[in-house]
């Protein structure tokens, strides 16, 4: 519905994030027809001295699954401007370049929509935002807009995050700032609200009366190769748990929002975060894989966790007594992310099901997106015996012709449309840091020690023991195998 020129500016255009995520996401949008208008222009900005073609060549290799012609068409949209991140000169030039494209096609109205994507380290956010504010804003005060997408890490703890928020808050209104957490762009994460609140089946079950425990799990089967220096300053809790897994937690645990308005949804997320009790250090296991410190950019005495399992407890009527186990690790035995909602045992069991396992509702975020409910059924055949089976909604089977969009692609489109539902609000960020800051400070001070684990394993045994202590019952001898097309 909006019209006027759309200028998308990727700052940090020659960096890793831009090449691997931002430009490919823009390309996918382009392929689906979203950016194919004479009014759309894409600009890359970075310090390196490059020509337009120089930048295009760097990006080309990351644009897959399309004809050369299509790729070239998209690349032609991209112009490069070089300059530093803290001097007026570069940003003046950027503004001049954007304006030239805006006016050449659309001279009578000065309406423009300007989207700035900061694919940059957070240390330069304040200066870059100041520069945008001083030199590059949409020139019209009554039509169009200027929006800024920022990436985590938003600070390292509560104080630094609040400081950053305050600095950016002086320059841009909350409605102009889009704090991206790409987990909120994943298909099955976006499905959580629908699943929970549009299905009568789940409404009466989703509480402490029926649910024994919830696990939110992230596993990667590779280490921190190549980014150990960055990672060591943050660790797995800041890299994955405080943002990605906590966002998923909010959607699993929050109450029903008044409506689907972004503010209503985010209000509920803040509320559930504020209901989380202070983390008990007895309910935390942190680990570091053997070999992590071989990376020359990692200090020899690093205590930085590459694995953590943390129990969150929600102090409200729905969840009192139900442990939420948030677990994330690098260099483990597999790569996957999933939510596991484990139900209590059926009371008065006459089948001796207990040994076989409980009902467990699993939402597999990636790979092989799926939802499945583990059930006890009669084993088919002449004998009266029971076994674990599942109701399985595997997306690859059920939605064979649907291409599931990439998280970044969806979130960039949301920004263009002005929908902040899937972005992190300032008070939400604050509440998230409030939960983890005391623990992080104690880890940084060495009060909690990372136990070591072998790469390629499940991670520290201590974490499995803790899950058992929390009442999680693992089903032995049952493995869900993603179905494949014959």
b/e sequence 50-74, b meaning 16+ C-beta within 10 Å: beeeebbebbeeebeeeeeeebeeb
Residue number with CB closer to ligand BG6 (235 or 323):
235
How many chain residues bind ligand BG6 (CB under 6 A)? 4
Contact map string, positions 205 to 224, toward ligand BG6, x by CB under 6 A: ---------------x----
Burial of 9 (0-12, 13-18, 19+ CB in 10 A): buried
CB of 21 to ligand BG6, least distance (A): 9
Element spanning 225, H or E: none
Q: Where are the alpha helices (DSSP H) in 83-220?
A: 88-105, 125-135, 158-171, 187-190, 192-197
Contact map string, positions 285 to 324, toward ligand BG6, x by CB under 6 A: ----------------------------------------
Which of 17, 239, 229 has the alpha carbon at shortest distance from 119?
17
CB nearest ligand BG6: which residue?
Answer: 239
Q: Which two tokens stand for residue 151?
A: 């990436």
CB of 150 to ligand BG6, least distance (A): 13
409 belongs to the binding site for ligand BG6 (CB under 6 A): no
**Of the candidates 239, 268, 360, 369, which one interacts with ligand BG6 according to CB under 6 A?**
239
CB of 242 to ligand BG6, least distance (A): 11
What number of residues does the chain have?
Answer: 486
CB of 239 to ligand BG6, least distance (A): 5
70, 244, 264, 315: which one is catalytic?
A: 244
Residue number with CB closer to ligand BG6 (54 or 482):
482
| Known catalytic membership, residue 244 | yes
Residue number with CB closer to ligand BG6 (189 or 443):
189
Residue number with CB closer to ligand BG6 (65 or 169):
65
Element spanning 455, H or E: none
Residue number with CB closer to ligand BG6 (137 or 150):
150
Angle CA(322)–CA(341)–CA(312) in degrees, nearest 5? 40
CA-CA-CA-CA dihedral for 142, 148, 149, 153, to nearest 10? -140
22 and 12 Cβ atoms separated by less than 8 Å: no
Q: How far apart are CA 85 and CA 130, in angstroms?
A: 10
Query: Contacts with ligand BG6 in 158-187 (CB under 6 A)?
Result: 182
78 and 56 Cβ atoms separated by less than 8 Å: yes
Contact map string, positions 323 to 352, toward ligand BG6, x by CB under 6 A: --------------x---------------
| Tokens 């950027």 -> residue | 94
CB of 182 to ligand BG6, least distance (A): 6
CB of 220 to ligand BG6, least distance (A): 6
Indicate which residues carry an active-site annotation.
Answer: 244
Binding site for ligand BG6 (CB under 6 A): 182, 220, 239, 337
């Amino acid at each position: 519905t909006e019209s006027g020129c759309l200028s998308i500016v990727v700052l940090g255009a020659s960096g890793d994030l831009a090449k691997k995520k931002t430009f490919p996401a823009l390309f996918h949008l382009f392929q689906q027809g979203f950016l194919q208008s004479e009014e759309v222009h894409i600009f890359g900005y970075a310090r390196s001295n490059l020509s337009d073609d120089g930048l295009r060549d760097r990006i080309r290799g990351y644009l897959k699954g399309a004809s050369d012609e299509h790729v070239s068409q998209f690349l032609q949209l991209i112009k490069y401007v070089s300059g530093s991140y803290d001097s007026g000169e570069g940003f003046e030039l950027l503004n001049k370049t954007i304006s030239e494209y805006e006016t050449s096609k659309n001279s009578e109205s000065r309406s423009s929509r300007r989207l700035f994507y900061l694919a940059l380290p957070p240390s330069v956010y304040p200066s870059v935002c100041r520069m945008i504010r001083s030199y590059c804003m949409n020139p019209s005060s009554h039509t169009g807009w200027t929006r800024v997408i920022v990436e985590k890490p938003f600070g390292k703890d509560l104080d630094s995050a609040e400081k950053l928020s305050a600095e950016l808050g002086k320059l841009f209104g909350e409605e102009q700032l889009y704090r991206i957490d790409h987990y909120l762009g994943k298909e099955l994460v976006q499905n959580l609200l629908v699943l929970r609140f549009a299905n009568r089946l789940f409404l009466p079950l989703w509480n402490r009366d029926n649910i024994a425990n919830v696990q939110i799990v992230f596993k990667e089967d590779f280490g921190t190769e190549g980014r150990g220096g960055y990672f060591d300053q943050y660790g797995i809790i800041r890299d994955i748990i405080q943002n990605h897994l906590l966002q998923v937690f909010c959607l699993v645990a929050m109450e029903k929002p008044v409506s689907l308005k972004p503010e209503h949804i985010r209000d509920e997320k803040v509320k559930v975060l504020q209901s989380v009790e202070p983390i008990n250090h007895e309910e935390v296991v942190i680990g570091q894989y053997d070999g992590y410190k071989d990376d020359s950019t990692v200090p020899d005495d690093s205590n930085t966790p590459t694995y953590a399992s943390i129990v969150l407890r929600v102090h409200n009527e729905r969840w009192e007594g139900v442990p939420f186990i948030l677990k994330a690790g690098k260099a483990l035995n597999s790569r996957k992310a999933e939510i596991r909602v484990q139900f209590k045992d059926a009371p008065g069991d006459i089948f001796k099901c207990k040994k076989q396992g409980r009902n467990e509702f699993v939402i597999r975020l990636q790979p092989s997106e799926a939802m499945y409910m583990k059930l006890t059924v009669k084993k088919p055949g002449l004998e009266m015996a029971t076994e674990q089976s599942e109701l399985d909604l595997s997306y690859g089977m059920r939605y064979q012709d649907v291409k599931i969009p990439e998280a970044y692609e969806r979130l960039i489109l949301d920004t263009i449309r002005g929908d902040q539902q899937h972005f992190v609000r300032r008070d939400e960020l604050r509440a998230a840091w409030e939960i983890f800051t005391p623990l992080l400070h104690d880890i940084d001070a060495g009060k909690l020690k990372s136990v070591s684990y072998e790469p390629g394993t499940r991670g520290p045994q201590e974490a499995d023991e803790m899950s058992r202590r929390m009442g999680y019952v693992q089903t032995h001898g049952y493995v869900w195998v993603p179905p494949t097309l014959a």
